Chains A and B, each alone.
Chain A
Amino acid sequence: GENVEQHPSTLSVQEGDSAVIKCTYSDSASNYFPWYKQELGKRPQLIIDIRSNVGEKKDQRIAVTLNKTAKHFSLHITETQPEDSAVYFCAATPVTGGFKTIFGAGTRLFVKA
């Protein structure tokens, strides 16, 4: 079936460094790719997203890149801060065929001060 693989499962960086999280999806019909941040004990919140007709999108310190040919997309966080520490989830959604969303398993990011 459809799946989304996310790596790494845990990432530890020093404050100020960059962090990169990568996801690979299997369903070539997917054309919407959101990223969610979930702080401890809280709900997931959308931080950035990209559609398949765009290769890169940036919002301040975060950016997402998409390679449709290779079926992978990545989240880039620059100048990391302790408040970036959280679990990050990628997801892939085919626009046709219902309302299914497939999530990656998550990446726990630690930013050390």
Chain B
Amino acid sequence: EAQVTQNPRYLITVTGKKLTVTCSQNMNHEYMSWYRQDPGLGLRQIYYSMNVEVTDKGDVPEGYKVSRKEKRNFPLILESPSPNQTSLYFCASSSDRSGKGNTFGSGTRLTVV
């Protein structure tokens, strides 16, 4: 089954404790993105990648890092999480540069206390 798999689904952590949210897709897509979703703000793009070792900032990259060492994986790293990073996070992948056919993961609800 074609899918984007995110882990974990839920995470509660403390301020300053480094964490990684994993994202993996099995569709051989070149394009992948991370979004955060907050009430009243829609989805905001954090980082995106257009291929292995090619990543770039989206609209809200501060406090986040990503890597793309393999085509299928695109982890999101929070080196020192803060409470304002409490949010619902989605990973997405697409075979098309326009984002057509964007497939989203199930989401990760992160709470930073």
Contacts and interface: CB of A to CB of B under 8 A. Distances in A.
12 contacts: A34-B99, A42-B106, A43-B105, A43-B107, A44-B104, A46-B101, A89-B42, A95-B98, A99-B33, A99-B48, A104-B42, A105-B40
A103 to B, nearest CB: 4
Interface of B: 31, 33, 35, 40-45, 48-50, 56, 58-59, 90, 97-102, 104-107
Contacts, number: 64
A103 B43 contact: yes
Interface of A: 1, 6, 9, 31-32, 34, 42-46, 49, 51, 89, 91, 93, 95, 98-106
A109 to B, nearest CB: 15
Contact of A98 (B40, B41, B48, B106): B48
A101 to B, nearest CB: 5
B59 A1 contact: yes
Contacts of A1: 59
